[in-house]
Amino acid sequence: MYLITVFGNLLIILVIILCSHLHTPTYFFLSNLSFVDICFASTRVPKMLVNIQAKSKVITYAGCITQMYFFIHFVGLDSFLLTVMAYDRFVAICHPLYYTVIMNPQLCGVLVLVSWIMIVSLFYRMSLGVYLSLAASHNSHSGAIASVMYTVVTPMLNPFIYSLRNKDIKRALKNSLGGKLEKGPLS
C-alpha cells in the first residue's frame, strides 16, 4: 500500500509537470496535494514497517516528537490544500469569466504558502490531545488500526479519488504512456 501511495502520487505529479495543458491552478493544487500525501505517508509508514519487521515497538523520544511534528504538519497541510482546492472550484463555478484573473499564479502561490504555514499552528493542540487520549486509553489495537487507516489508506486513495477519475488526467496519462510506448525501441 505504501508503494502504491508513493508511485501513484508521483505519477500524478509527473503527468501534471509534463502535460502543458494541465498547467492550471486546479492541477497546481492537485500536484501539491499529491506531494503532501507522499510526505504524509512517509512520516510514519517506513518506521512502522521497520517495527513490524523487527518485531519491536521501540522509538526514541526525539524520534517520536519528530515523527509527531511532521505527521501533524502534513495533516494540517492536507486539510488546508483541500480547502484551497474547494475555493478554486468555487471561483471556477461561480465566477468563470473572472477565473483567470482571480486565480492568478501569484494568488495560487500565496495560497499554497499559507497552507504550508498554517503548519502545525491550528492542528498541533488538537492532534496532541487526540494522541494523548489514545495513549491514556490503553487500547493499542484500535489505535493501531485507526493509525494505519489514516496514515496509509487515505493517501493511497487520494490519487484515485482526485486524479484518476478526472478526464484530463486520464487523457494525459493515456497520451503520455501511450506515446512513449509507441515510440519505444521495441515497437
CB 90 within 8 A of CB 44: no
Whole-number pLDDT of residue 74: 87
What is residue 90's predicted lDDT score, i.e. its pLDDT? 93
Closest CA to 163 of 153, 173, 154: 173
Whole-angstrom Cα distance, residue 70 to residue 76?
Answer: 10
**pLDDT at residue 141 in the model:** 60
Q: Which residues are CB-neighbours of 72 under 8 A, at least 6 positions away?
A: 120, 123, 124, 127, 128
69 Cβ contact list (under 8 Å, min separation 6): 120
Query: What distances in angstroms separate CA 129 from CA 36, 97, 134, one per listed residue?
Result: 23, 45, 9
Q: What is the set of domains in the chain, with CATH numbers?
A: 2-172 (1.20.1070.10)
Residues of the chain with pLDDT under 50: 120, 123, 181-187
- The confidence score (pLDDT) of residue 186 equals 39
Distance CA 156, CA 2 (A): 7
What are the CA-CA distances from residue 85 to residues 41, 57, 80, 153, 174 (Å)?
20, 38, 9, 21, 25
| pTM of the complete model | 0.72
Three-state DSSP string of 168-182 = HHHHHHHHHHHHHHH
The pLDDT assigned to 187 comes to 38
Evaluate whether 71 touches 43 at the Cβ level (below 8 Å): yes
How far apart, in whole angstroms, are the C-alpha atoms of residue 94 and residue 32? 24
pLDDT single digits (tens) 114-144: 877 766 455 455 555 556 655 555 555 655 6
